[in-house]
C-alpha cells in the first residue's frame, strides 16, 4: 500500500490533491448534472455523500476511474447509524442491551445492506459520552459511561469494517464527534463546551482512544468548540494528541460545514482563514464547506500552508481507498441489494428485545392473551416513529407496529381494542382521550404506548422540558381513574422525566426507539415469549432540574444524608434545622433509576465477592468473582457489572467506575460463577502534571446488578 500510494501521490498535481480533500453531497440531481461529472473527470472531488443507487453510482465512478487523469476512485458515503434498510434500535437502545455481540451483528448487517447499495463509508459510531438528556443527540450515543462507549464503539467498528471474504475493509467506520460534543453547555446542540484536562482525558477522550487502537478507518471532528477552540481547527487535540501521541494515521473528516462554521464561532475571519486553520488542525477532508476547494491553492501560493500539509492528508485518504479495495474493484453489483432479509429482521427483533428495560412490575407482566386488552397511546400504531432518528434510507414499509404485533399474538385468544387517544406524541387535543378511556373501562388490562416521535430527538432536536410531550400525562391520569391495570411502554430517543407516569403504572417498559421490529419485540416481552434483559445505559432523572445526573460522579465534602424533602419541612422551620448536605429539596440526591438498572421476570441473588488477593502490585492480575443464582422460575439473562472506586487519591475520584460487565444466561434455580480480572492499568487515571497513573492505596470493588447496589470489598495497590 505504501509503495502504491507514494507513487500515486508523486504524480498528482496540486489541484488533484485538493480534489481528494473535497467532499460533496450532490444528491441525485447533482449526480446527473454535467458540472459534477466534469469535476469528477478533472479530479476535483474525492468523496461524496451520495444516493444509494448502484447503477448511478457506477456511472459516475466510471468517469473517475476511466476518464480522470490518474483514475483515482471515489468513496461513496452515508450516515448509516443504526441500520440502512433494516433498522436496529437507536444506539442508546443498543447500549441498553449490554451485549456487544448484538451491536456488532447489527453493524455487520447495516454494512452488508449499505455496501450492496454502493456505500463504502459510514459516519458511525458516535462515542460522545452523553450525560444530558436534553441533548437530542444522546439518542446516537452509547450513554453516560466512557467504558460503555468504548466497548460498544469497538463492537460497532468491528461489525462495519470486517470482511471475511477478503483482506480489505468492508465499510469504513468513523469515530465521531472528536471531541467533547456530548458535553455541550445546557444540552443545546452545537453549543460551547468547557472540559477540564482530567475530564477530557478520563471521560471524553477515552472511547476515542479505544477506537483508534481498534483501527477505525476515520475520525470526524465535532461542531463544538472546546475551552474556546473549535474542534475543526483544534491542533492541540486533533494533532498533538490524536496524531502524535496516539499515532493515529487514518482520515480526519470535518462535520457538515463545520470548517466554515469557525467564522460565526468568532475563531476565523473568513472562509479562507478557516480553511487554513482546518489544515493546521489536521482535518483531511472538508465536508460541504467548499473551503478547501476554494482557498487551499491560494493559501499554498501565499505560503500559509505547505504542500507537505496536503501530502499528509491526501496520503491518509488514498490509504483508506486502498484499504477498502477500491483501486482493485471500485464498482457495485447492480441488482445485488441485500435489504431486509429474514435473518436481518430476526436480528433486529432480537436487538429490540434485549434493548428494552423493565423498570417496574407489580406482578402484571408477563400478560396472558386472554380476555379484553386495550391498546392505547400515540406510539402504539406509529411504525415509522419507532425507527428513531438517523435512518433516512430505512424501508418504511417494513416496520411492524406494537398494535399490529399484539393483534397477531392474541388472534383467536383475546379481544384487542385499539384507541390511540392522541394521534401523535405532541398532540394537545384531548378529544380522543375519552375514547381511549372507554376502551380501557371495557378491558381487563391497558397497554399504553407513550413517548416521543422520532423528530423530537437527534441532531438539533434538543428539549428543555423532557417530560412526555403533548397531553400524554393527562391521558395517563384519565386512564388511571378507570382503575384498570396499566402497562406503560415508553418509546423515546432519550431518557424522559416520567416519574409521575411510572408511579401511576403497574408495569413499565422503557423501550427507546426500537427500530424496524420494535412492535414484535415488545409483544414478545409483554406476553412472556422473551424475558426482559435490558439495563439502563444512562440514568433516568426525576426531573430536568437534576441534570446532569450520572452515576460516576465525584463526591462532595458533604455527601447527601438525612435528606428532608420539600413536603416534609415544617412550617416556620429554622434555617439550620434541615442539615447541610448536597441534594435537592424537591428531588433528593439520586436519579429515579440509576445506570445499569433493569428488572427481569425472575430474580437473582448475588453471593459474596471473592478476590484472588487482598493486594496487587503493578503488573499483577486481580481476579474477582461471585456466584449469581437465579432464584425465580424463568430462565433469564443477568447482566453482572463490575465497579471500582479509588478510595483516596491525589485528585478526587468518582464514587464508582464501570470496569466490566458480563451478560450470562442462568437457568431457573441454577447458579453461575462470574469472574472478572483487573490490573493496575485498569486503575489509571489522568493526574494533572503526571499523566496517567495508578496510585498506591486502597480500592473498593463491587460485583453488582447496577451502579447503586452490591456490597463492596477492598483491595490494595502497593
Q: What angle do CA 690, 218, 396 make, to 5 degrees?
A: 125
CA distance 171 to 175: 13
Residues 6+ apart with CB under 8 A from 144: 129, 130, 131, 537, 538, 539, 550, 551, 552, 595
C-alpha cell at 180: 467533547
- Contact yes or no for 45/74 (Cβ under 8 A): yes
Strands, E assignment, 271-325: 286-287
- Round to the nearest angstrom and report the end-to-end CA distance of the chain: 47
| Secondary structure letter of residue 654 according to DSSP | B
| Secondary structure letter of residue 553 according to DSSP | P
- Contact yes or no for 357/509 (Cβ under 8 A): yes
- Torsion-angle region of 83 (φ positive above 0: left; ψ -120 to 50: alpha; else: beta): left
What is the rounded radius of gyration, in angstroms, for the C-alpha atoms of the chain? 27
Q: In 3D, which of 111, 117, 558 has the Cα closest to residue 347?
A: 111
CA distance 437 to 540: 28
Q: Indicate the angle between helix axes 291-301 and 271-280, nearest 10 degrees.
A: 80
C-alpha cell at 95: 447500549
- Contact yes or no for 439/374 (Cβ under 8 A): yes
CA distance 10 to 24: 25
- Contact yes or no for 46/24 (Cβ under 8 A): no
CA distance 646 to 694: 9
Report the Cα 541 to chain-centroid distance in Å: 18
Q: In 3D, which of 370, 416, 631, 592 has the Cα closest to residue 519?
A: 416
CA distance 703 to 681: 19
- Contact yes or no for 115/168 (Cβ under 8 A): no
C-alpha cell at 111: 454494512
Which of the residues are catalytic? 255
Measured from the Cβ of residue 222, the count of other Cβ atoms closer than 10 Å reads 29
Residues 6+ apart with CB under 8 A from 498: 450, 467, 468, 488, 490, 540
C-alpha cell at 617: 502490585
For 241, phi then psi, to 5°, come to: -90, -60
C-alpha cell at 386: 419507532
CA distance 428 to 454: 18
Report how far apart, in Å, the C-alpha atoms of 6 and of each of 231, 282, 322 are.
Answer: 29, 20, 12
Q: Indicate the angle between helix axes 307-323 and 271-280, nearest 10 degrees.
A: 70
Four-residue CA torsion sign, 393, 398, 404, 407: negative
In the chain, % helix, strand, coil (3-state, to 5) comes to 35, 20, 45
Amino acid at each position: 500500500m505504501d509503495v502504491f500510494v507514494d507513487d500515486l501521490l508523486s504524480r498528482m498535481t496540486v489541484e488533484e490533491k485538493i480534489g481528494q480533500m473535497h467532499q460533496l453531497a450532490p444528491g441525485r440531481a447533482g449526480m446527473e448534472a454535467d458540472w459534477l461529472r466534469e469535476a469528477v473527470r478533472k479530479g476535483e472531488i474525492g468523496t461524496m455523500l451520495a444516493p444509494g443507487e448502484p447503477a448511478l453510482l457506477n456511472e459516475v465512478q466510471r468517469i473517475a476511474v476511466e476518464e480522470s487523469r490518474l483514475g483515482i476512485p471515489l468513496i461513496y458515503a452515508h450516515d448509516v447509524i443504526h441500520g440502512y434498510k433494516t433498522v436496529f434500535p437507536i444506539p442508546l437502545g443498543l447500549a441498553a442491551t449490554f451485549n456487544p455481540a448484538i451491536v456488532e451483528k447489527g453493524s455487520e448487517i447495516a454494512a452488508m445492506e449499505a455496501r450492496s447499495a454502493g456505500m463504502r463509508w459510514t459516519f458511525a459510531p458516535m462515542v460522545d459520552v452523553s450525560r444530558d438528556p436534553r441533548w437530542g443527540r444522546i439518542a446516537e450515543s452509547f450513554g453516560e459511561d466512557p467504558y460503555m462507549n468504548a466497548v460498544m464503539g469497538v463492537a460497532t467498528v468491528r461489525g462495519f469494517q470486517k470482511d471475511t471474504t477478503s483482506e480489505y475493509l468492508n465499510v469504513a467506520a468513523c469515530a465521531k464527534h472528536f471531541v467533547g460534543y456530548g458535553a455541550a453547555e445546557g444540552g443545546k446542540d452545537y453549543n460551547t463546551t468547557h472540559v477540564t484536562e482530567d475530564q477530557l482525558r478520563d471521560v471524553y477522550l477515552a472511547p476515542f482512544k479505544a477506537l483508534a487502537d481498534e483501527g477505525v478507518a476515520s475520525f470526524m471532528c465535532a461542531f463544538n468548540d472546546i475551552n474556546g477552540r473549535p474542534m475543526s481547527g483544534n491542533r492541540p487535540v486533533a494533532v498533538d494528541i490524536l496524531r502524535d501521541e496516539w499515532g493515529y494515521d487514518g482520515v480526519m473528516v470535518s462535520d457538515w460545514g463545520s470548517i466554515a462554521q469557525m467564522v460565526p464561532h468568532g475563531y476565523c475571519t473568513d472562509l479562507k482563514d478557516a480553511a487554513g486553520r482546518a489544515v493546521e488542525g489536521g482535518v483531511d477532508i472538508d465536508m460541504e464547506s467548499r473551503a478547501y476547494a476554494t482557498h487551499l491553492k491560494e493559501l499554498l501560493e501565499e505560503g500559509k500552508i505547505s504542500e507537505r500539509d496536503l501530502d499528509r492528508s491526501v496520503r491518509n485518504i488514498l490509504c483508506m481507498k486502498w484499504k477498502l479495495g477500491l483501486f482493485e474493484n471500485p464498482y457495485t453489483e447492480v441488482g445485488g441489494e441485500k435489504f431486509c432479509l429474514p435473518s436481518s429482521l430476526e436480528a433486529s427483533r432480537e436487538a429490540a428485545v434485549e434493548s428494552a428495560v423493565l423498570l417496574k412490575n407489580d406482578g402484571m407482566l408477563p400478560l396472558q392473551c386472554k380476555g379484553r386488552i386495550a391498546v392505547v397511546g400515540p406510539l402504539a400504531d406509529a411504525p415509522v416513529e419507532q425507527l428513531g432518528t438517523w435512518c433516512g434510507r430505512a424501508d418504511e414499509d417494513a416496520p411492524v407496529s406494537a398494535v399490529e404485533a399484539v393483534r397477531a399474538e392474541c388472534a383467536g385468544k383475546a379481544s384487542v381494542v385499539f384507541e390511540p387517544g392522541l394521534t401523535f406524541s405532541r398532540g394537545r387535543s384531548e378529544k380522543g382521550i375519552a375514547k381511549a378511556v372507554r376502551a380501557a373501562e371495557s378491558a381487563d388490562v391497558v397497554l399504553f404506548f407513550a413517548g416521543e416521535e422520532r423528530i423530537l430527538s437527534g441532531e438539533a432536536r434538543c428539549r428543555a422540558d423532557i417530560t412526555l410531550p403533548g397531553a400524554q400525562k393527562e391521558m395517563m391520569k384519565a386512564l388511571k381513574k378507570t382503575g384498570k391495570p396499566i402497562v406503560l411502554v415508553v418509546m423515546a430517543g432519550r431518557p424522559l422525566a416520567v416519574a409521575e407516569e411510572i408511579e401511576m403504572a403497574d408495569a413499565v417498559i422503557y423501550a427507546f426507539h426500537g427500530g424496524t421490529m420494535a412492535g414484535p419485540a415488545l409483544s414478545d416481552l409483554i406476553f412472556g415469549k422473551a424475558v426482559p434483559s435490558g439495563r439502563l445505559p444512562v440514568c433516568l432523572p426525576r426531573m430536568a432540574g437534576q441534570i446532569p445526573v450520572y452515576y460516576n460522579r465525584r463526591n462532595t465534602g458533604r455527601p447527601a444524608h438525612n435528606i428532608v424533602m420539600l413536603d416534609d419541612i415544617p412550617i416556620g422551620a429554622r434555617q439550620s434545622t434541615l442539615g447541610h448536605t448536597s441534594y435537592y429539596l424537591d428531588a433528593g440526591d439520586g436519579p429515579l433509576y440509576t445506570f445499569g438498572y433493569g428488572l427481569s421476570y425472575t430474580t437473582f441473588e448475588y453471593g459474596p465477592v471473592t478476590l484472588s488477593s487482598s493486594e496487587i502490585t503493578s503488573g499483577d492480575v486481580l481476579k474477582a468473582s461471585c456466584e449469581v443464582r437465579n432464584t425465580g422460575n424463568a430462565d433469564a439473562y443477568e447482566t453482572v457489572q463490575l465497579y471500582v472506586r479509588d478510595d483516596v487519591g491525589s485528585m478526587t475520584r468518582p464514587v464508582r467506575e464501570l470496569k466490566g460487565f458480563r451478560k450470562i444466561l442462568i437457568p431457573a434455580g441454577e447458579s453461575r460463577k462470574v469472574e472478572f480480572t483487573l490490573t493496575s492499568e485498569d486503575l489509571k487515571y489522568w493526574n494533572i502534571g503526571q499523566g496517567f497513573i495508578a496510585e498506591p492505596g486502597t480500592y473498593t470493588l463491587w460485583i453488582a446488578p447496577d451502579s447503586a447496589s452490591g456490597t463492596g470489598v477492598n483491595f490494595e495497590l502497593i
